[in-house]
Structure 1
Amino acid sequence: MTKNRLEAFTDGVVAIIITIMVLDLRPPESGNPAALWDLRYTFMAYLVSFLTLAVYWNNHHHLFQIVQRINGAVLWSNLLFLLAISMFPFATSWVGAHHIDSYAPEMLYGLVVLFTNIMFYVLIQCLIKASGTNSEIRKLLGQNYNKPLISIAVNIVAIGLAFIWPPLTIIVDTFLLLLWVVPERRIEIHIQKKI
């Protein structure tokens, strides 16, 4: 089974999700600059979600550069990953509308990030299993690859922080992106050696 259709489908879904998020941004009721300031939390929620989706897409693309084979488990785990990221528009909209007054929107946002992190980890594990015992992905990510597990653990803590101060969940999850902004260096070095 080739990976091209899976990558093209994933790219299309991510593009649609980002488009849905931007379409949810509504202009202010008045032409007064102060009205734009009132929407600052909505814009911040959108920006954080856009960056989060961009980081996931970038890492997904990077990961699939070393993938040679996929199977049914990879297809399903990728679909579950897409299911997780498809919840970002809803969570982003709710956070933007109720930015500080309630912990529930931020908790939901944190749960969406957690679900996405778990599904990305599951996708990596399925790719490793599908690729065989002597594959590039197994050699590069099969051992000592803790980024997904660190993300999951920190994200669980971030969800609990919503009870202390709701924006902490999104703040911690945003800082957690720093772990993923630069895709896995081992993959990058391996690709450079092949060129």
Structure 2
Amino acid sequence: MRRNKHQHNFNDFSDQEKEKLKTVRQELTQAQKKEPERLWEHLQAFNDGVMAIIITIIVLEIQPAIHEVHYEQFIANIIVFLITFFVVADFWYDLHLAFSYYIFKPTKTIAILDFFFLADLSLLPVMTKWIMAESSTFAVANFGIVFLIAKILEYLIQYFGAKKTAKYSQIMNIIISRSFIRKVAVTLFLNVILIVLSLFIPRIAMILYLVIPVTSFLFPVKRNKIV
């Protein structure tokens, strides 16, 4: 095959050029090795930033009580804000633990799942504003659907992160898989119940959405284990 006149063989370079090329290749290799660590740092920073913005947007949705007749609605909006705040805070805390204990070198799969997770979570301000405007069964049910999708994506992030950490242990992989299936099953069951409950008693369902993250945060269960 005829070589293109613009292509060069390594032997065509001078000793100085070869040395520079070798240095560039070494730097590129080092950068590739450090890429997962940099991704780990950037994902955590991205999570922190997006969740902080989500909470900020939600609190701005609270309308002040201009007149005394609006005070009851003002208090109700604060309660709805607190529910969403603790939901987002619990998601943040779970991801913080995951990235601290076993997601040391996140893969592209984990990054993509994290993006979908944050995209879904970013819908919570819209759902919260909807509930503040009208505490209807449909509004609360949609809040529950967004919460459920975020929970499943969170478990997927934890699952793939833990699976990569324990990839050399077949027994650990089995334990992780079983734990993940159990977690998803329980989450689906509880959230379907809450979504159905929201169609009949939306206020009770919203209170339970507050109870779940607060209980999870104050009384953690096996948070020191991989999943």
Task: Please tell me the TM-score bracket, short chain as reference.
Answer: 0.7 to 0.9
In 2: Cα distance, 1:46 partner to 1:162 partner: 17
Unaligned regions of 5+ residues in structure 2, if any? Answer: 1-35
Name the SS of the counterpart of 1:177 in structure 2.
Answer: helix
Q: Is structure 2 residue 122 aligned with structure 1 residue 86?
A: yes
CA apart distance, 1:27: 1.1
CA apart distance, 1:134: 3.8
Are the equivalent residues in 1 in contact too, given 2:140–2:198 (CA < 8 A)? Answer: yes
Q: Report the more deviating stretch, 20-29 or 73-82.
A: 20-29
Q: Is structure 2 residue 63 aligned with structure 1 residue 29?
A: no
Summarize the alignment of residues 71-110 of structure 1 with structure 2, pairs less than 5 Å apart: 71-99=107-135, 102-110=136-144
The C-alpha deviation readout for 1:116-148, integer Å capped at 9, x for no partner, is 11111111122123335148xx67x71535445
- When Rg is computed on C-alpha atoms for both structures, the one with the higher figure is 2
Instruction: Please point out which of 34, 49, 68 is paired with 2:104.
Output: 68
Give the letter for the 2:60 counterpart: L
Q: Identity of aligned pairs, percent?
A: 24
Instruction: Calculate the TM-score normalised by the size of structure 2.
Output: 0.72
Name the SS of the counterpart of 2:224 in structure 1.
Answer: helix
CA RMSD of aligned residues (A): 2.3
Unaligned regions of 5+ residues in structure 1, if any? Answer: 191-195
Corresponding residue for 2:153? 119
In 2: Cα distance, 1:183 partner to 1:57 partner: 14
Instruction: Please point out which of 38, 46, 58 is paired with 2:93.
Output: 58
CA apart distance, 1:108: 0.7
Number of residue pairs aligned between Structure 1 and Structure 2:
182
The C-alpha deviation readout for 1:157-192, integer Å capped at 9, x for no partner, is 11011222222332332222255214453527x9xx
Corresponding residue for 2:222? 185
Q: Is structure 2 residue 167 aligned with structure 1 residue 133?
A: yes
The C-alpha deviation readout for 1:25-63, integer Å capped at 9, x for no partner, is 121232x3x432232221111010001111111111011
